[in-house]
Chains A and B, each alone.
Chain A
Amino acid sequence: MSSDNPIDGGSTDMLTDTRDARMGEGLDDRFNSRLREALGSSPFILTKFDKFMNWVRGSSMFMLQFGIACCSIEMIHTYAIKHDLDRFHAGVPRASPRQADVIIVPGTIVSKFAPRMKRVYDQMPEPKFVVGMGSCTISGGPFQEGYNVIKGAEEVIPVDIHVPGCPPRPEALVYGVAKLQERIANGESSPVVVKPYELEQFGDMERDEVVDKLADQIDEETLAMRYNWADSP
């Protein structure tokens, strides 16, 4: 690329010439980007806005910097050198739940911590996603029989992806996060409007009744997103 005297007396000829020379003749490849290459010659992408947003969400996840127990050490290793979760568009730990999209729950949840964790989760903006890391977030793991241990993260907050292991290796967590991204990008993991822990007050009803009852409460006009029960995986 010529850089001897690129701008001379307001004429842009030289710049245009250089660019044309670089692009070669024929295609009007104004952006010369790899994305453009993949899409062919059309300058437009036609897609649904939802689909586009899903793709964006999956490709740019801000994780919550949230350590509980043993698994958090492996989680830090996943963020750090060698495993480097950032390679998968998911490596920026945010210290505040208000800036985070994804919460990885890395460890045993005990009675005293459960309300705190729910509070942290509640502070995250929608849409939010949860990765349960380790056996403790699945069932309580090795501490399941403890008097103080919550039998899994799902008792407190909804979980999108479970990564089993005690603790899971960093590779396993990377796989779990990649799976979550895949699900988000395909629109399979939708923003949850009805939270499972709120269902407790309807505990004695059949599931369908619960859905009907909650659906009645939703104001159609102000509803921005709807969770599609019928199509949900």
Chain B
Amino acid sequence: MSVEETEETPEIEAGVTVEDEVLDTLGDTVQTTEEHLNADASVVVRPDQVQDTLSALRDDMGYDHLSCVTAQEYEDRYESIYHMKQYDDPTQEVSVVVPASKDEPISQSAEPVFRTADWHEREAYDLVGINYEDHPDPRRILLPETWQGHPLGQDYDQDSPQIVTLSEWDNPLRDDHVDDEADTMFLNIGPHHPATHGVLHVKTVLDGETVADVDPDIGYLHRCEEQMCQNGTYRHQIMPYPDRWDYVSAGILNEWAYARAAEDLADIEVPEYAQVIRTMSAELCRIAAHMLALGTFALDVFGDFTATFQYAFRDREVIQNILEDLTGQRMMFNYFRLGGVAWDLPEPREEFFEKTRDFLEELPAKLEEYHDLITGNEIFQLRCVDTGILEPEVAKSYGATGPVARASGIDYDLRRDDPYGYYDELDWDVVTEDGCDNFSRVIVRMQEVEESAKIIEQCVDLLEEWPEDDRTIQSNVPRTLKPDADAETYRAVEAAKGELGIYIRSDGTDKPGRFKIRSPCFSNLQTLGEMSEGEYIPDLIASLGSLDIVLGEVDR
């Protein structure tokens, strides 16, 4: 649909739906409505009314989670879509669509309302080229400052040469911190640094040993994942890429994000048996991912390259062996298919079950060992308890999800709140902690491992007794998928790091018109400043470790 179609408020039908309520609340700011498969209401507003609309939705209707900002370019206009949710009930979704003109793509920034919009809008500017008015920091975020053009825009020429420089960084606080008493120092942490978990670059300004300013500089692993997915066909060519977003063996969780969005878009059913296999394999991945988080965190806070780190990797090897039996790969599984999974459990099934059960049986004793080594360790407690505080309201404003949000007492888990797969049939609990500190984040991950083990055990029980003539692993899916033109959806799953969402707009062909990834790490990483400014530099390292970011997913 196009913007000029209608300027007046559509008629309000009888029976109060969410859409009516939204229209009531927003009044005249709404220009028209759209149809998004996920959202109860999708409203189109003028580019200068973004802040009013979002704050009305947040304050009056409780949409307190700005999940994602998607920008895209059409033939006749630019568009930013703000995907709003409620932390209490993420099935309540509203999309706010903000068109901007082709000649002057200017739109009001949502940053004063939701802090998380800061980075999301910088990314939208960087990749698509929409300018956000009132934005506090309108720089590129993923590509180098010297980059010419906006690669996901329509007239971008990929073959034109680009010049990338390596410049020395200035101290951004130098001018306003010059006096005889205070003396700031600029410190580059990364992009090649053992504690940054990859190629993150943290530009830090120190005042003595205190952190005065933190500016995470990302984009050192921006692998054009969205472009790759937009160039691939739905049925086969996209699925290998999700494995490489969050690459710490959490591949199946990411595949599920794409599978869920695409199945929603093309209306594909998944057989129950396949759902159980999906649930089991996804939770195995979650354990592997949390083990890595634990091991590298121990490495960060007490340089423990021997015991904890090696133990964590020993346990990961066991999981990777199980997953290799199941999927044929240690890390890049490519196991899901739209409408199911690639193949059934390996034969002989008993052997696979036995192996998985052995792992689950040994797990409690191993976790006990980790608790002895880590959480019971006084040095560890000194480093982690009451450091890196993230208040729940701040976490919400930054769109934090996953273990980071749950350790700040936000009871938000899409597996329970927006059920998919087989989770709502199983018996397990969402782990939350109220400490808001680094210690809580570690505890939440360790307890989630126990919960995942519970889920896997129940899945194994189910699979063992599943009748042999009812083992359908894939539903019938057409060889070429062509969802209806202009169908749009945003679907999220609970990945290892939090809410991993996919926005897909179909353009009627067998490839997506726009494929946007909402990465949990991208939002979680934004909280680093809140957690570490005013603290000591070792606390910054601990906070960064406890956020458990993966740069492949931050940068995409």
Query: A114 at the A/B interface (Cβ < 8 Å)?
Result: yes
Q: For window 31-74 of chain A, which residues contact chain B by CB distance below 8 Å? A: 65-70, 72-74
In the bound assembly, the distance between CA atoms of A147 and B160 in angstroms comes to: 10
Indicate with 1 or 0, residue by residue over B203-232, a CB within 8 angstroms of chain A CB atoms: 000000000000000011111110110010
Closest to A110 in B: B222
A146 in contact with B224 (CB, 8 Å) = yes
Chain B residue nearest in CB terms to A117: B192
Q: How far is the CA of A111 from the CA of B222 in the complex (A)?
A: 9
Residues from chain A with Cβ under 8 Å of B142 in the complex: 148
A142 interfacial by beta-carbon distance below 8 Å: yes
Alpha-carbon distance between A107 and B331 when the two chains are bound, in angstroms: 14
Looking at B162-170, B386-394, B487-495, the stretch in contact with chain A turns out to be: B162-170
* CA distance in complex: A116, B219 (Å): 12
Residue with the highest number of chain B CB atoms closer than 10 Å, among A116, A147, A169: A147
Question: In the complex, how many angstroms separate the beta carbon of B347 from the nearest chain A beta carbon?
Answer: 23
Q: How far is the CA of A149 from the CA of B221 in the complex (A)?
A: 9
Complexed CA–CA distance, A149 and B164 (Å):
12
Give the distance in Å from the alpha carbon of A111 to the alpha carbon of B241 in the complex. 20
Interface residues of B in 393-445 (CB under 8 A from A): none
B128 CB → nearest A CB, Å: 13
CB atoms of B220 and A112 under 8 A apart: yes
Most buried by A among B158, B222, B292: B222
Name B524-556 residues within 8 Å CB distance of A.
Answer: 551-552
When chains A and B are docked, how far (Å) is the Cα of A143 from the Cα of B275? 30
Interface Cβ pair total, 8 Å cutoff: 114
A148-B150 Cα distance, complex, nearest whole Å:
11
Q: What is the bound-complex CA distance between A111 and B165, given in angstroms?
A: 10
Chain B neighbourhood of A70, CB < 8 A: 244, 247, 331-332, 552
Q: Decide yes or no whether A113 CB sits under 8 A from chain B.
A: yes
In the complex, chain B residues whose CB is within 8 Å of the CB of A81? 310, 313-314, 317
Min C-beta distance of A119 to chain B, whole Å: 7
User: Does B284 interact with chain A (Cβ within 8 Å)?
Assistant: no
Q: Is A192 an interface residue (CB 8 A)?
A: no
CB B104 to nearest CB in A, in angstroms, measures 25
Given contacts A113-B220, A147-B227, A148-B224, contact A72 B198 (CB under 8 A): yes
A interface footprint on B276-292 (CB within 8 Å = 1, 0 otherwise)? 00000000000000001
Q: Mark A147-179, 1 if CB is under 8 A from B, else 0.
A: 111000000000000000011010000000000
Contact (Cβ within 8 A) B144 A149: no
Q: Is B327 an interface residue (CB 8 A)?
A: no
Q: Does more than half of chain A's interface fall in helix, strand or loop, or is it mixed?
A: loop
Q: Is B248 an interface residue (CB 8 A)?
A: yes
Give the residues in chain B near A77, CB-CB below 8 Å: 313, 316-317, 320
With A116-B166, A169-B330 known to touch, is A147 a contact of B247 (CB < 8 Å)?
no
A111 to B199, CA, bound (A): 13
Centre residue among A95, A111, A149 by max chain B CB count within 10 A = A111
Checking B143, B166, B199, B320 against A148 with a beta-carbon cut-off of 8 angstroms, the contacting residue is B143
Contact A143 B228 (CB under 8 A): yes
Q: Which residues on the B side are within 8 Å of A82 (C-beta)?
A: 313-314, 317
The residue that A119 contacts in the complex, of B166, B221, B240, with Cβ under 8 A, is B166
4 closest cross-chain pairs (CB), A and B: A146-B224, A70-B247, A80-B313, A115-B166
12 further A-B pairs in the complex, CB-CB below 8 A; given A69-B198, A77-B316, A145-B228: A66-B192, A73-B247, A73-B331, A77-B313, A81-B314, A81-B317, A82-B314, A108-B223, A111-B147, A120-B192, A143-B225, A148-B223
28 A-B residue pairings within 8 Å (CB atoms):
A66-B192, A68-B198, A69-B552, A70-B552, A73-B248, A76-B313, A77-B316, A80-B309, A81-B310, A110-B222, A110-B223, A111-B143, A111-B144, A111-B162, A112-B220, A113-B220, A116-B166, A116-B192, A116-B220, A120-B192, A142-B228, A142-B240, A142-B244, A143-B228, A146-B224, A147-B227, A148-B142, A148-B222
Binding site for A on B (CB under 8 A): 142-144, 147, 151, 156, 158, 162, 164-166, 191-192, 194, 197-199, 219-225, 227-228, 231, 240-241, 244, 247-249, 292, 309-310, 313-314, 316-317, 320, 330-332, 551-552
